[in-house]
Structure 1
Amino acid sequence: MTAHLSRRSLLGVAGASAGTLLLGACSDDKTADPNGAQTINWWHIQNTDPMLPVWAAIAKEYETAHSNVKVAIQPLENEAFKAKLTTATQAGSPPDLFQSWGGGVLQQQVDAGLVKDITADVQPWIGSLLPAALQPFTIDNKIYGVPFDVGMVGFWYNKELFTKAGITAPPTTWAELLTVVGKIKAAGIIPIALAGKEKWPGHFYWAYLSMRIGGLGALQQAAKDHNFDTPDFVAAGTRFKELIDLAPFQKGFLGAEYGSPDGQAATMGNGGAAMELMGQWAPSVQASSSTSKKGLGDKLGFFPFPAVEGGKGTVAEAFGGGNGFVVGKNAPAATLDFLKTLLTAANQRKSAATGAVLPTVKDAADAIADANSKVVAASLAAATGFQLYLDQAYPPAVGQQVNDSVAELVAGSKKPEQIVVDITKTAKSQ
């Protein structure tokens, strides 16, 4: 997991005092008897409004309906959660139910025997979820976690600035995007906001271009072969460099953070740039980071990452991720039933109504109020394929190398041919 997960989660970035929240990792009360007294130790990172009270209320309702079950909730700030989970898993004592983003970290937990294969347990109800949302939690055709929130990365744009630049429709191809960037610059407007300091936002471009050029198969093959030194990945860097060479980013972007008062989200939220490539949480972070605390409102639009002419991928393939829960190896019997309760359509609607969650249960989509969030949800529902963020999909060291190498490409210190060699070297060392 990487340091930006708190931003991706949308849900728990404030620094609650972790010291007052850290309870024991394991319950002493493990039993296979579904009617016996049980304690479910549940760790999550929704430690602030709006989701903190929602989760608490659902747990209380479950306890009321199941007098033999106690749900011990440990809401943790994101970084505190990661640190404590690392300690617990290294000790072989994972919590009973805990936050996960799937991908490479979950793979390591599966390999270590720390989490349960819940494939058979969830079969009666897993069909109610968006198929794309399950992919990061499915390893070797077995389900190890269930997502409660899912989203995708795409371009968020300022409709007013597009109109000022004479652009009547969002671009649908890479060539059109480059043309749009040129028009926006010619109008005296900054085309794109980018948090260069944090590196992960830049990796979105290279990852999406790799998908559009090589298709999902190229990314999957790279994971198996530990090899990124292929024409498709080189081409992704070459195409990204076409954009970089247009100097589309705001002044000082290499030192810019994502959520700071002068960072990427604030630049967008204050109307200082026409576009940003970001996940489904973008509108809320734009608003909270903006001077007005309201963001762009109705001026904000969304469009998918464009197609690349001649590429093997399609616009219907989505890149993103979400939040989910996995079940620890020693979890009591009631844990899976409680997990099922969290994922009922009614409870997913409660989560979606906060505006902080894009639900994974199909029938809960009607609770999404924001117009742009509806577009994202519709795009995900229609997705023909799904790729998890590369810095989560691959082993952590490989994900970090992707971020570092793409940052070098953005800064102009490495060429497209060089970064794939560096990423491959790290992948083969794992």
Structure 2
Amino acid sequence: MKRKLTWVLLLSLLLCAVAFSASVELKFLHRWTQEPDSLFFDEVARDFEQLYPNIKVNVQSIANDPFKEKIKVLLGTSDAPDVFFTWPGEFTNRFIRADRVLDLTPYLLRDGSLWNYVGSQVEPFVYQGKIYGLPYRLDAKVFVYNKELFQKAGITKAPVTFAELIDACKKLKAAKINQIAFGNEGTWAVSHYIGAINQKSVPEDVWLKDLDPAQGVWTHPGYVESLKIYSQLVPYFNPFANGIKHDQARIEFMAGKFAIMYLEIVEIPEILREAPTGFGEKIGVFVFPDTKGPGDPDYLVGYPEGFVVSADTKYPEEAVAFLKYLTGREAGRKEIEQLGFFNGYRNVVGPDEVLPIIYETTSLILNSKRMVNWLDSDLHAKIWDVYSVQLQMLTDLVATPENVMKEIQNIATEVRKEF
């Protein structure tokens, strides 16, 4: 038996060597068009090429918002990338249902590489029991606040409950300090608020069922309550939030003009690079406060971002090899050093190798009871199209929570007919 297993192993290695012997070019598509991120991907591709001289990685990039539409067009054409970026959830699941994404399960189990990744960060890429992607960077949403401005307003600690957050905003306003910076021109920003509050306002089994486009009805009263909670924050946003880009609002926050901003953890390294010297020492973080609703207060909104392999690739072995390298230990260390982001690979660095705030926020993800996906990524595209418009109207105070949810119920009814 031992001799037989040895020959099987040797044969599998030989087959891999044969598969990698021919000259191959992989198309690799990500969504970062600016430095330093774009340089990182270029370097990772070149590093991989040095390990596999027969494989050429053609790196391409499309900016975030146009990427979401462009990838829909590319998949299924002769220009489809072999390896491409994605957001887990319904954004990816629709491509899986259309047989456009490669099942990675056999590749990850064959060599045991699956166990090198943090399980909670691989789980979002699982669909109907199969693994379709690997995490590139961990992410979640937290409130980042200016401790100096809080002190000026007489606020002695970060809010733990939603009532304390509203009270903090009132104190900031009374002290003539701008409260919450918010840019919602790209409506994904408001989806992060609503996703967080929905989870807290609606029983878990209900919102999980509603996220399924084949079953969702969206009739639970908690959704209206969620929008009422969000509406309490609106007076404390900057004016004309729907006309301001998220990045513009962040610049105002970094300039010390606002006390609070709801930010992704992956934005913190960018803030530390771009903000005035010393700004990083002024900021602290807190998770979305407890609203006292039926949802678990220990859940954290956010999901990893990752990469998948096209089911139409002519080179699945090579594409999977690149994906593993891209999301593995060596690239993970480079990612932390150059960008400040953690990937989903186990034990890439220790706490003494990164800034305390980076380790603290990443630990929030790794220690969370459960991660809740970004609402815009988890919803059926047709439902999100309606939801996003309605949420902008709610932010502009020209729609009511009840009317918003009526529109969502109507479009959900139409979507269910497709399944």
Q: Distance in 2 between matches of 1:319 and 1:215?
A: 15
1:346-383 deviation line (CA, Å, top 9, x unaligned): 22010111135232223124386333222220000011
Matched to 1:340, the amino acid is: K
* Larger deviation, residues 216-225 vs 340-349: 216-225
1:42-88 deviation line (CA, Å, top 9, x unaligned): 12223332233333333233323323322222234445644543332
Q: 1:250 to 1:219 in 2, by over 3 A?
A: same
Match of 1:404 in 2: 389
Q: Distance in 1 between matches of 2:367 and 2:292?
A: 21
- What secondary structure is seen at the aligned counterpart in 2 of 1:99? strand
1:193-212 counterparts in 2 under 5 A? 193-212=181-200
Q: Distance in 2 between matches of 1:411 and 1:79?
A: 22
Match of 1:63 in 2: 49
Aligned: 1:347 with 2:359: no
Preserved CA contact (<8 Å) 1:302 1:375: no
Match of 2:228 in 1: 238
Aligned: 1:95 with 2:85: no
Q: Distance in 2 between matches of 1:351 and 1:125?
A: 19
* Larger deviation, residues 332-341 vs 74-83: 74-83
Q: Distance in 2 between matches of 1:301 and 1:160?
A: 10
1:134-155 deviation line (CA, Å, top 9, x unaligned): 2432212211111111210110
Q: 1:120 aligns with which of 82, 106, 109?
A: 106
Q: 1:371 aligns with which of 356, 371, 378?
A: 356
- What secondary structure is seen at the aligned counterpart in 1 of 2:80? coil
- What secondary structure is seen at the aligned counterpart in 2 of 1:302? strand
> Scaled by the length of structure 1, what TM-score is found?
0.83
Aligned length: 392
Matched to 2:37, the amino acid is: M
Q: What's the offset of the Cα at 1:34?
A: 4.1
- What secondary structure is seen at the aligned counterpart in 2 of 1:259? helix
* Larger deviation, residues 270-279 vs 210-219: 210-219
Q: 1:94 to 1:254 in 2, by over 3 A?
A: closer
Q: 2:311 aligns with which of 317, 329, 337?
A: 329
Matched to 1:60, the amino acid is: R
Preserved CA contact (<8 Å) 2:76 2:312: no
* Larger deviation, residues 397-406 vs 103-112: 397-406
Q: 2:378 aligns with which of 384, 388, 393?
A: 393
Q: Distance in 1 between matches of 2:365 and 2:61?
A: 28
Preserved CA contact (<8 Å) 2:33 2:61: yes
- What secondary structure is seen at the aligned counterpart in 2 of 1:314? coil
Matched to 1:421, the amino acid is: K
- What secondary structure is seen at the aligned counterpart in 1 of 2:347? helix
* Larger deviation, residues 181-190 vs 345-354: 181-190
Q: What's the offset of the Cα at 1:410?
A: 2.0
Q: 1:107 aligns with which of 90, 93, 102?
A: 93
Structure 1 portions without partners, runs of 5+: 1-30
Q: What's the offset of the Cα at 1:219?
A: 2.5
Q: 1:360 to 1:197 in 2, by over 3 A?
A: same
Q: Distance in 2 between matches of 1:270 and 1:286?
A: 11
1:152-181 deviation line (CA, Å, top 9, x unaligned): 011010000111111111111112212222
Preserved CA contact (<8 Å) 1:196 1:254: yes
Preserved CA contact (<8 Å) 1:265 1:289: no
Q: 1:364 to 1:288 in 2, by over 3 A?
A: closer
- What secondary structure is seen at the aligned counterpart in 2 of 1:98? strand
Q: What's the offset of the Cα at 1:392?
A: 0.9
Matched to 1:38, the amino acid is: V
Q: Distance in 2 between matches of 1:397 and 1:356?
A: 35
**Percent identity, aligned pairs only?**
22
> Scaled by the length of structure 2, what TM-score is found?
0.85
Preserved CA contact (<8 Å) 1:355 1:370: no
Q: Distance in 2 between matches of 1:76 and 1:68?
A: 26
Between structure 1 and structure 2, the one with the greater Rg is: 2
Aligned: 1:176 with 2:164: yes
Aligned: 1:54 with 2:40: yes
Q: Distance in 2 between matches of 1:399 and 1:388?
A: 14
Aligned: 1:282 with 2:272: no
Preserved CA contact (<8 Å) 2:269 2:341: no
Q: 2:252 aligns with which of 267, 270, 283?
A: 267
Matched to 1:416, the amino acid is: P
Aligned: 1:320 with 2:302: yes
Q: 1:337 to 1:200 in 2, by over 3 A?
A: closer
Match of 1:6 in 2: none
Q: Distance in 2 between matches of 1:81 and 1:181?
A: 36
Q: What's the offset of the Cα at 1:214?
A: 2.2
Q: 1:81 to 1:181 in 2, by over 3 A?
A: closer
- The root-mean-square deviation of aligned C-alpha atoms, in Å, is 2.5
Q: 1:253 to 1:62 in 2, by over 3 A?
A: closer
- What secondary structure is seen at the aligned counterpart in 2 of 1:198? coil
Matched to 2:389, the amino acid is: D
Q: 1:273 to 1:67 in 2, by over 3 A?
A: closer
